[in-house]
Homo-oligomer: A and B are copies of this chain.
Amino acid sequence: MSKCQVCHGKDGLAKLPDAPNIAGQKEAYLVKALIAFKDGERKNEQMTVVVKGLSDEDIANVAAYYSSIKISVQVPP
């Protein structure tokens, strides 16, 4: 989790311009993305390094945490 927070924030709002916000992201999407990075199907310098250290349980926990953040949106007029 602490590794995720460096770029994606504890609140799931990206701290770097190239990183996506993941607050309240769909749990299934997060799991799928992390597995895709782990399998090399999706490529990203940072993510490829970070996911190497994640077990299936870690992936499930990270996805559960970030998806549990409630988001509300305000569409521009």
Residues of A within 8 A of B (CB): 10-14, 17-21, 23-26, 28-29, 32, 41-43, 68-76
Contacts and interface: CB of A to CB of B under 8 A. Distances in A.
A interface SS class? loop
Contact of A75 (B11, B17, B42, B73): B11
A29 B17 CA distance: 8
A42 B10 CA distance: 27
Contact of A28 (B18, B23, B71, B72): B18
Contact of A11 (B19, B68, B73): B73
A17 B26 contact: yes
16 contacts: A10-B75, A18-B28, A19-B26, A20-B25, A20-B29, A21-B24, A21-B26, A41-B43, A69-B73, A69-B74, A69-B75, A71-B71, A71-B72, A71-B73, A71-B74, A72-B74
